[in-house]
Amino acid sequence: MAHEVIVMKQPQSVAPRTVPHITTLLICRNTVLHAGLRHILSDTPFALADDVVDPASDISAFAGSEPALILLCESLSPDEYLEILEPLKAQCPAARVVVLADHLEPNAVVRLCEAGLNGLCSPAMDGSSLVTALELVMAGETFLPAAIGLALLEQLSRRSLPDAQVVKATPIAGPAGRLSDREARILQCLMQGDSNKMIARQLDITEATVKVYIKSILRKVQAANRTQAALWAQQHLQHSG
């Protein structure tokens, strides 16, 4: 009579995955929005502080909490945002500041970015997109809605129209001539506000490969971030033909 032999293996212990902890402060008097953000950011690296921060309060105690994120979710005028943003950056220079708003004009956004704003997100964004945008900000990127970016590019294009006409008659020299076809394609995607994931899907490559290409592009066009690279492309790539 045949017998079955059952071999019992000892379960192997699996080391818990280390999730980066990002101290996240919230400036928001809207209790509904506060509750929604707390739900969206649960089970993410963004550890939302228990209490809502008052804009006038001293938050210098968080200066050593790196990385740190400050979410500003108040419907204010550009000048009021500046009055809050400047002291925040002075108290916590390393903190990244993101505003949740959808009423700001492009020129106002430029002023805020010059004062240290690191990101602008729409309150209408779905949760996963918001988390992705915040992750990009914490990775050193400046995140702006596509509509704002396109409006800024259009303004820049109108201001530089005489120069653009000269460029059409003169072959492009310098970094544009050293960009590969793939790098030029990725730059066009950056101009459209595409995320790394969207670019990877369009070009059928991995997100890690996209990051490598973007790093190379930033070096070649001497840009500090993808927004500056998109502005550079608006002035050069579209007129290279």
In a domain, 13, yes or no: no
**Res. 4: pLDDT tops 60:** no
Instruction: State which residues form the domain around 86.
Output: 22-144
Better-predicted residue by pLDDT, 57 or 18: 57
- The CA dihedral of 187, 193, 195, 200, to the nearest 10 degrees, is -40
**Res. 172: pLDDT tops 70:** no
Confidence band of 56 (pLDDT split at 50, 70, 90) = low
In a domain, 10, yes or no: no
Question: Does a cis peptide bond (omega within 30 degrees of 0) precede residue 106?
Answer: no
Secondary structure tally for the chain: helices H, strands E: 11, 5
> Which among 222, 132, 220 has a CA at the least distance from the CA of 183?
220
What is the strand order of the sheet 68-72 is part of?
46-48, 22-27, 68-72, 96-100, 119-121
Top-ranked range on mean pLDDT: pick from 57-61, 84-88, 166-170? 84-88
Domain count, the chain: 2
137 shares a domain with 153: no
157 shares a domain with 110: no
155 shares a domain with 118: no
| Domain C-terminal end among 144, 163, 187 | 144
| Domain C-terminal end among 125, 144, 163 | 144
In a domain, 2, yes or no: no
The pLDDT mean for the chain works out to 77
* Ramachandran category for residue 177: left, alpha or beta (phi over 0 → left; psi -120 to 50 → alpha): alpha
| pLDDT score of 192 | 85
